[in-house]
Chains A and B, each alone.
Chain A
């Protein structure tokens, strides 16, 4: 752990003796060897399963049975992907997931932002209590509200649409988002809002003109947290998906695995790989924001 040189290298004028630095480098390599070995094992454990799955998605049915499991595909055929889209409904599932996720995340972020402003920047009696009241929702598991909501949606006659999912995700995302938004507003100096008021800006205008642009980064961070939790959810999607046409990608994957079971590996592998590849692309572009955002969301939640 301590790589500080034990004996400080004395800078002598003239040619330095050759073997000493060499031996030191060699010693450092030997000392570093266990670390590199550990990191290599770690990376193989983390990356190989995903690599193996993506490679599997290009294999033909006969390759699965004829070749060893770690063999690479003989040729990169896209048949499995075509199969996943045509027979596996992956396209429809993706569309549903997006139609549910984007409005939910938009609503969660906007509602949370407005509430955060009203609870942190605006000054009124009882705002602490209201914030605590909303934060209480963070603790409540989703199972607690499923049955009543299912009944209510059924009575309203909206179960045959994606609306129940959007409403439920929005309600579930609001507590944490409001709390985080209030915390972010706390970090913005009040003077900014007060200066705007001095310049004749009303509080509502201040919200749109000052707060929204200032909170762009926070909105993106929280939006990403909520995007992943909504997009990856199974419980609510499973409860409120009444017909296969309404299935989100998670529900679709689950039924695809039941349907294909142990016979059609290719299409199943392709469907899972689509998930991995799409999220990997998003992740590569936004990884700093995602990592920071998820970490912030959990520490404060």
Chain B
């Protein structure tokens, strides 16, 4: 039996296409990109070895450091909001709406499949000011407030970006956490209720500890997705006003493709990769210990 399933020819036929695409188009480019971060220039102009200068430049580049803060701030705020709202929704589905939650679950989930560009343009129209004012500012006017030009300020743009991301993806986290909550054995919840744990105490002492693994994977997933935010901030306000809301991804894209600085662009991409790695490890290391206990 093992001889049949150890047949080298079969393994090669089945694995080789995947492995060659992966190595040629992913592993080699990553290594190439690592190498490029020690060079300056681009394909047309030629490359020049500059050692660690790109990394030194990065640390003294205020635009780059601002981008790091935009990425990290966005990731942390959105992750906290996403997982919190997703968890509250999941609790609503399981304990309040119960069997009747299917429609709400679907309606709240749907925006997840919409392209971020479409969602960003939708939100841009919702908050538009001026001749063709969106319903948001109309509502503010109706309550006697002054129209707000959200996209004119950094804080306003970030607020809209956070709300927009939350709007489009909290339903996804809700479904993710909902499936986790469904896995909690009914008897455990019942016996806790018998012992007098209800409402917040039940959630705090029984439900949250039992759904900790899925909560942590949601956090890791959310951090990894939001650290790579690109489409929404580009489509919403083009990283503006100015470049104040440009995340690392957008700064990298501009450096590499608009200013044709391939080497420095690669350095920024490396910084982004390291950031994702560090964030995952920070959440994962202590958590994996706790889950084992």
Contacts and interface: CB of A to CB of B under 8 A. Distances in A.
Interface stretch (A21-29, A73-81, A248-256): A248-256
A145 B25 contact: yes
A170 B257 contact: no
Given A46-B167, A149-B25, A299-B217, A280 B112 contact: no
Most buried by A among B112, B117, B134: B117
Interface string B132-171: 1111001000000000000000000000000000010001
A1 B14 contact: no
B4 A42 contact: no
Contacts of A89: none
Interface in A160-216: 167-168, 170-172, 174-175, 178, 193-194, 197, 202-204, 207
A295 B174 CA distance: 10
A124 B11 contact: yes
Nearest to B132: A64
Nearest to B164: A49
Contacts of A262: 128, 130-132
B114 A279 contact: yes
A294 B112 CA distance: 10
Given A43-B107, A137-B26, A275-B115, A147 B265 contact: yes
Given A52-B135, A68-B138, A147-B36, A265 B22 contact: no
Given A69-B138, A144-B269, A122 B11 contact: yes
B231 A250 contact: yes
B176 A232 contact: no
Contacts, number: 273
Contacts of B123: 49
Give the interface size bracket for A toward B.
35 or more
Give the interface size bracket for B toward A.
35 or more
A81 B130 CA distance: 25
Nearest to A268: B121
A70 interface: yes
Closest 7 CB pairs of A and B: A171-B25, A145-B29, A115-B18, A148-B29, A148-B32, A118-B14, A118-B15
Interface of B: 1-2, 4-11, 13-15, 17-19, 21-22, 24-30, 32-33, 36, 43, 92, 95-97, 104-118, 121-126, 128, 130-135, 138, 167, 171-172, 175-176, 179, 193, 198-199, 214, 217-218, 221, 224, 227-228, 230-231, 234-235, 249, 252-253, 256-257, 262, 265-266, 268-270, 272-273, 276-277, 280
Interface of A: 1-2, 35, 38-39, 42-43, 45-50, 52-53, 56, 64-65, 68-70, 111-112, 114-115, 117-119, 121-124, 130, 134, 137, 139-152, 154-155, 167-168, 170-172, 174-175, 178, 193-194, 197, 202-204, 207, 228, 231-235, 238-239, 249-250, 253-254, 257, 262, 265, 268-269, 272, 275-276, 279-280, 282-283, 287, 290-291, 294-295, 298-299, 301
